Homo-oligomer: A and B are copies of this chain.
C-alpha cells in the first residue's frame, strides 16, 4: 500500500549517517500533542543525555527544529547583536557559512581566513583577536568540508583574553568524539542529529553557558529570527511551556531513542569504537597506497575521513560505482577541493573495524577499471 520504497543505502558519507532500526521504530510511534506531558518528559531526557555528549553542566541545552545549519544561524542570531563585532576563524566551507549568516543579521564580521584544510594556532588567534577585540568569536570544531579538527582551546583561550563569547560548530563531532564544551571554554555550541548521533536529520541541539545566557537575556534588540529565538524556544521547552511553534514530535522520539542507544553503549566506549574504526580505516587505506588529505593524524576528524583522489581517477565515476555496485554513498569534495578528495564517514553503526575493512575493499574495487 505504501508508496515510499527507498533504495537501501550504506551511508558512508559525511551525513546523514546510518540509522539503527530501533530509531526508525521509535520515530514511527504515534505522536502526542505539542504540550502533552509525555512530550516534555522526552524533551527532558534528551536534554540530560545531550549534556553528557556536549561535556557540559550548562542548564541551557535545547533542541531546535531544523538542521545543523539552523543551529548555526540560531547561534549567530541570538548571541551576536547587530553592529557587534564577530571574528570567524575559517579554513573551510562551514566557517564561511557562519560569516555569511552573521553578515545577514547585521553583525560586523571579520573573517580570519586560511586555506581549506588548515587550522589556527593560539598565537594566530591571539594576534587576530588582540587587534580586532570582538564581542564574539566563532569557529568550526570539525570542518566537514576538509576533514580537519580544530583544537578549541587554541581559539577559546585567546577569545577569553579579550572578553569575547566563543561559538563552536560541532555539527560533525557531537556524539562521535569528545566535545568537552565546559573544559574547552566554549560558550555556545550547536550540532545536528544526523551525523554523530545516528538519527535522521531534523533537529539541532544547542547549548549555551551561563555567561552566554546572561548576554542573551540582556540583549537590547529582539533576536532577528523569530523561529530561532532561543528565549522563546526555552520558554516552550521549559516552564512555563509557552507555545512557540509545532515541534516535530517524531524527530524528538528518534533523538530520544538514538541517545538511549548511546547511553547503553556508554559515551566513552562509543568514542573509542569510532577511533578504532578510524585507525583501521587509515591502516587499510594506506595498505592500498591511498593517502589521507590531512597529513597529521591528530588533526583528522576520526568519524569523517578525507582521502585524496588518486591521480587520473574521476571521483564522480568512482562514487557512482560505489552506489551502483554496493549501495554505498560517500561524498566528494567541493569548492577548492572539488574532484580532489573523497569524504567518507564512519559513524554510528558503521563505525566498526569490520565495516572500515569492508568499505576500503569496496573502494579499491571501484577504483580499478
Contact segment of A83-91, A129-137, A250-258: A250-258
A66 in contact with B67 (CB, 8 Å): no
A123 beta carbon closer than 8 Å to chain B: no
User: Are A3 and B227 in contact, CB atoms less than 8 angstroms apart?
Assistant: no
With known contacts A29-B4, A104-B225, A66–B66 Cβ distance under 8 A = yes
Cβ B28 vs Cβ A9 within 8 A: no
Interface size on A, residues (CB 8 A): 71
> Quick check: B73 and A248 within 8 Å, CB to CB?
no
Q: Chain copies in the assembly? A: 2
Known: A225-B225, A256-B3. A248 touches B251 (CB 8 A): yes
**Nearest-neighbor residue (CB-CB) of A221 within chain B:** B104
Given contacts A3-B260, A200-B248, contact A227 B30 (CB under 8 A): no
B16 touches A227 (CB 8 A): no
Q: Is A249 an interface residue (CB 8 A)?
A: yes
Known: A5-B29, A202-B65, A249-B16. A228 touches B226 (CB 8 A): no
Residues of B close to A101: CB separation below 8 A:
226
Near B by CB (< 8 A), chain A positions 119-148 give none
Can you list, as one digit per residue, whether each of A236-248 has a CB less than 8 Å from chain B (1) or not (0)? 0000000111111
Residues on the B chain within 8 Å of A26, using CB: 2-4
A42 is contacted by which of B4, B32, B249, B260 (Cβ under 8 Å)?
A: B4
A88 to chain B, nearest CB (A): 14
* CB-defined contacts of A59 to chain B, threshold 8 Å: none
Does A13 sit at the interface, judged by CB under 8 A? yes
Chain A contact residues, majority secondary structure: loop
Chain B contacts for A51, CB-based, 8 A: none
Interface string of A199-232 (1 = CB under 8 A from B): 0111000000000000000000011111110000
Q: Provide the residues of chain B in CB contact with A110, threshold 8 Å.
A: none
Q: Is the pair B30, A257 in contact by a Cβ cutoff of 8 Å? A: no
Q: How far is the CB of A347 from chain B (nearest CB, A)?
A: 13
Instruction: Check: A8 CB closer than 8 A to any chain B CB.
Output: yes
A-B contact pairs, 28 of them (CB 8 A): A2-B25, A2-B26, A2-B29, A4-B26, A4-B29, A4-B253, A5-B29, A6-B31, A9-B30, A15-B246, A16-B33, A19-B31, A24-B30, A24-B250, A28-B28, A65-B67, A65-B202, A66-B70, A67-B246, A68-B246, A69-B244, A69-B245, A73-B226, A101-B226, A194-B246, A200-B250, A225-B225, A248-B248
Q: A2-B29, A201-B249 known; 11 other A-B pairs, CB under 8 Å?
A: A2-B257, A7-B32, A8-B30, A27-B250, A31-B200, A32-B329, A67-B246, A69-B226, A70-B245, A73-B225, A104-B222
